Structure 1
Amino acid sequence: MLLLWASGAYNVAFSADDNATSFFNDANSFLAKYVIEGCVDYHAIQNNTVELRKLVRVMENMDLSKFSHNEQKAFWINAYNLTVINSIIHHWPIKSPMDVSGFFDKLKHTIASEKLTINDIENKKIRAVYNDPRIHFVLVCAAMGCPKIISEAYFPEKLEAQLEARTKATLNDPSFIRIRADDDKTLISEIFKWYKEDFTGTGKSVLQYINQYRINKIPSNYSVSHYTYDWALNKKKRVDDLMPEIKDQPSSVEKPANLQEYTPSALLKKGQVEVKLFNNLYTDNAGFDQNGVVKESSKRQNYFSGFLQTAYGIAPKLNVGVDAILKSVSIDDVTSSPLELFTFENTSNTRTALSYIGPKIKISPFKKLNTLSIQSTLFFPLASDQQGQQNGKPYLSHDGYQWWVQVFYDQKISEKFRAFFEVDAITYIDRKLKKDNSFIDTPVKAFLSFFPTHKVTLYLLTEWAPTWGDNAIASYYSQVGIGGKYQLLPNLEIELLYTNFPLGKNKGAGTTYNLGLRFLR
């Protein structure tokens, strides 16, 4: 029994050591590959995220209970730097970590089974535990103002030597400690202002702390002030960065963008433009009665809706735009093809019209919920008698105003999975404000997205959409579907979606076929 226990203890210890060694070695290989002369090749990482995603998964599930003091310290330093890189890639392309709201203090990351912000890693897991000012020269926040990142991981067995080496290198770097001998002045990083207590905790002044690592000591009579922190991204310079005269000219080649990051809940950055064309074809030859029973029909109903949606980022948390809707309907024999609708004829059984146009506004109102946004669109009817009550033509759409209020929210599950939710309140208002022709729909949608690559998205959809009348549900439909998106070009995405309506009340029992195109610049 004792032998079995001892054997088990040995295996556990071996497993912990093995996990630690593997993590540090993999982190070392990754940094050696993508860190060049103190800068990170984010572009190369974004084009192949396999190694980074593997490291992120390991960090998420790492058990630190068997780690030694030095192993834990080295782990958290590497975890900080890798999490910063991963967050930059997650929001790529950006010019600074400050472009992302809450980058350091709001966005949560799973590290060693804990939900932590980047500031939490620094302040709660490193500064509060180890009380070592040298960590400020090895933690790299993705800004040019940070100490330079090195092309190797921090290893527990040589951590002390690495901390000493990085501190000496940084404090002797003339770009980090700027000496102006002509006017007896020293300019130092704002790091020494933000974390002053870390450097003066032993009774020394900031200048005394710096001088203990400098080869050429700063004279005590020199005045000390702080230069402005440079928040520009510490990215590896590429050819287009080094040739501004070419870069500033118009070019037909766009910089790569990860369109997966622009979910419906995401707002465009200032100056960005989005144009989306979404085409929906609905067809049925049956419907649900008031008891939810499917009733066959002798006719086939086909409805086409073409949505042209535009948006423009005027501020980090404010987008505006204009949407337009083209509608077409045909009522034909049950054996007819839904594709005949695309002749766009106007007969006694068919009708096509530019149905609605309306302005919209989208905001992200909550600082602590940066993946929640609210969009409001007011549609004005363009075609007359869209319900066909006067002209005897097929029903095209509601003949009045529409006010759409949509709440979007998405939640990251893992590097490859994300959940997205949408709750709407769509108010239909009669042109003449007649109550019997005004009502409200409240659709609720849920999506589960899977990202096999940075260009491909696969997703599942479910929706339940009740229509309210006289304080009760007058009708409803449920919808399920499967879809996919593919990034054809750096700024162009195509989307395909198929849905079916399995349940309903006073609604059609049909299917939809959808094709979307999205351009983002």
Structure 2
Amino acid sequence: MTGGGLRTLIAMLLAGAAASGMQSRSSEVRDNKTLDEILEVHVRDGYVSYRALKTERNRLDAYVASLAGASLDSATPAQQISFWLNAYNALVLRTVVDHYPIAQRTNEYPPRSIRQIPGAFERLQHRIAGKSVTLDQIEQTFLAAFHDPRVFLALGRGAAGSGRLRSEAYASDALERQLSEVASECVNRAQCFQLDPLQNRVLISSIFSWRRNDFIDAYAGTAPEEFKARSPIELAVIAFMSPRMLASERQVLSKNTFKVEYLPFDWSLNDLSTRGAR
């Protein structure tokens, strides 16, 4: 092969590789755009217009169906985390829509709660990335593997007590910003964090109890030295919350006489049409 022919072949191969990369990236953008539009239209401040989404569910169903054949073999950690967060949140939406309006089956949970759907988290199987998985498996296996407990606050569990469901999809190139915002929102939401100076209590979401070891592993070793006598989960909570608190709140915390307690998790459906009704 002549020098000119070799250069032509190399140029063709490079062009093909570039086109393949552009196709892969555009596919990711298309998927994010689809979910972005669904969330932008139907989600307000973490609450969902399930009634409207049910009547316009074709795009949601198509998005979920597209996840079945997805391949994560060459995906970066940020791409994988974004993928599983989006998959989880989309599957929760579809699970609710499939049963909406939700019939009450037990007094253990609020009426219309996603928990009224039998096996919603632990039994219902979904085909994602070539695997049959439950919502619990996505949380406890695939997302837990990345050792970033902020992801557990990013899961829209179909409940008022969960982290606020965003009106946008998670994207690999924006993931750090998005998870940082999720963490900051936690400190500013009564469902996630409350400081009670009168009773000297710090009240935190039950999510910190459910994912106790994840938060301890990620944060306990970074708590300020003056709190070293505290339990591992208390150290983790302090390290997670303190940088995001107001100065006045940190001053209360600095007295180091408070108790840490868990808030009851609010399993009321995050339904925009019944927001505030209990």
Query: TM-score, normalized by length of structure 2?
Result: 0.80
Q: For residues 174 and 96 of structure 1, what CA distance do their matches in structure 2 show?
A: 20
212, 219, 233: which one aligns with 2:243: 212
Deviation of the 1:7 alpha carbon = 4.2
Q: For residues 160 and 87 of structure 1, what CA distance do their matches in structure 2 show?
A: 28
Secondary structure of the 2:195 match is strand
Aligned position for 1:233? 269
Aligned position for 1:187? 203
Change (3 A) 1:243 1:195: closer
Encode CA deviations 1:111-152: one digit per residue, 9 max, x unaligned: 122111011111221111x10011122111111111111111
Change (3 A) 1:175 1:115: closer
Structure 2 regions of 5+ residues with no counterpart?
1-8, 103-111, 222-234
Alignment of 1:153-164 (within 5 A): 153-164=169-180
**Aligned-residue RMSD, C-alpha:** 2.0
Contact 2:40 / 2:167 at 8 angstroms: preserved in 1? yes
The percentage of counterpart residues that share the same residue type is 25
Q: For residues 70 and 227 of structure 1, what CA distance do their matches in structure 2 show?
A: 31
Q: For residues 127 and 188 of structure 1, what CA distance do their matches in structure 2 show?
A: 20
Secondary structure of the 2:168 match is coil
Deviation of the 1:69 alpha carbon = 2.6
Answering whether residue 87 of structure 2 is matched by residue 79 of structure 1, we say: yes
Answering whether residue 129 of structure 2 is matched by residue 99 of structure 1, we say: no
Aligned position for 2:157? 141
Contact 2:139 / 2:152 at 8 angstroms: preserved in 1? no
Deviation of the 1:14 alpha carbon = 2.3
Deviation of the 1:190 alpha carbon = 1.1
Deviation of the 1:68 alpha carbon = 2.8
What is the one-letter code of the residue matched to 1:176? C
Alignment of 1:350-499 (within 5 A): none
Change (3 A) 1:233 1:221: same
Contact 1:16 / 1:66 at 8 angstroms: preserved in 2? no
Change (3 A) 1:207 1:195: same
Aligned position for 1:223? 259
Deviation of the 1:213 alpha carbon = 2.3
Aligned position for 1:126? 143
Secondary structure of the 1:144 match is coil
Q: For residues 277 and 32 of structure 2, what CA distance do their matches in structure 1 show?
A: 37
Q: For residues 168 and 135 of structure 2, what CA distance do their matches in structure 1 show?
A: 20
Secondary structure of the 1:182 match is coil
Q: Which has the higher strand share?
A: 1
Change (3 A) 1:104 1:91: same
Encode CA deviations 1:235-255: one digit per residue, 9 max, x unaligned: 1135xx7789xxxxxxxxxxx
After the TM superposition, which segments of 4 or more aligned residues of structure 1 sit over 4 Å from their partners?
1-5, 241-244
Answering whether residue 61 of structure 2 is matched by residue 53 of structure 1, we say: yes
What is the one-letter code of the residue matched to 2:257? N
Aligned position for 2:213? 197
Deviation of the 1:212 alpha carbon = 2.7
Change (3 A) 1:9 1:65: farther
Aligned position for 2:133? 116
Secondary structure of the 1:167 match is helix
Secondary structure of the 1:203 match is helix
Answering whether residue 208 of structure 2 is matched by residue 177 of structure 1, we say: no
Deviation of the 1:65 alpha carbon = 2.9
Query: TM-score, normalized by length of structure 1?
Result: 0.44
Answering whether residue 69 of structure 2 is matched by residue 38 of structure 1, we say: no
Secondary structure of the 1:178 match is strand
Change (3 A) 1:36 1:116: same
Contact 2:161 / 2:191 at 8 angstroms: preserved in 1? no
Aligned position for 2:31? 23
Higher RCO, 1 vs 2 (CA within 8 Å, ≥6 residues apart): 2
Secondary structure of the 1:61 match is coil
Larger-gyration structure (1/2): 1
Contact 1:192 / 1:206 at 8 angstroms: preserved in 2? no
Deviation of the 1:23 alpha carbon = 0.7
Contact 1:144 / 1:231 at 8 angstroms: preserved in 2? yes
Q: Which has the higher helix share?
A: 2
Aligned position for 1:299? none
Change (3 A) 1:29 1:164: same
What is the one-letter code of the residue matched to 1:40? V
Contact 2:114 / 2:158 at 8 angstroms: preserved in 1? yes
Q: For residues 257 and 237 of structure 2, what CA distance do their matches in structure 1 show?
A: 11
Change (3 A) 1:243 1:72: closer
Aligned position for 2:228? none
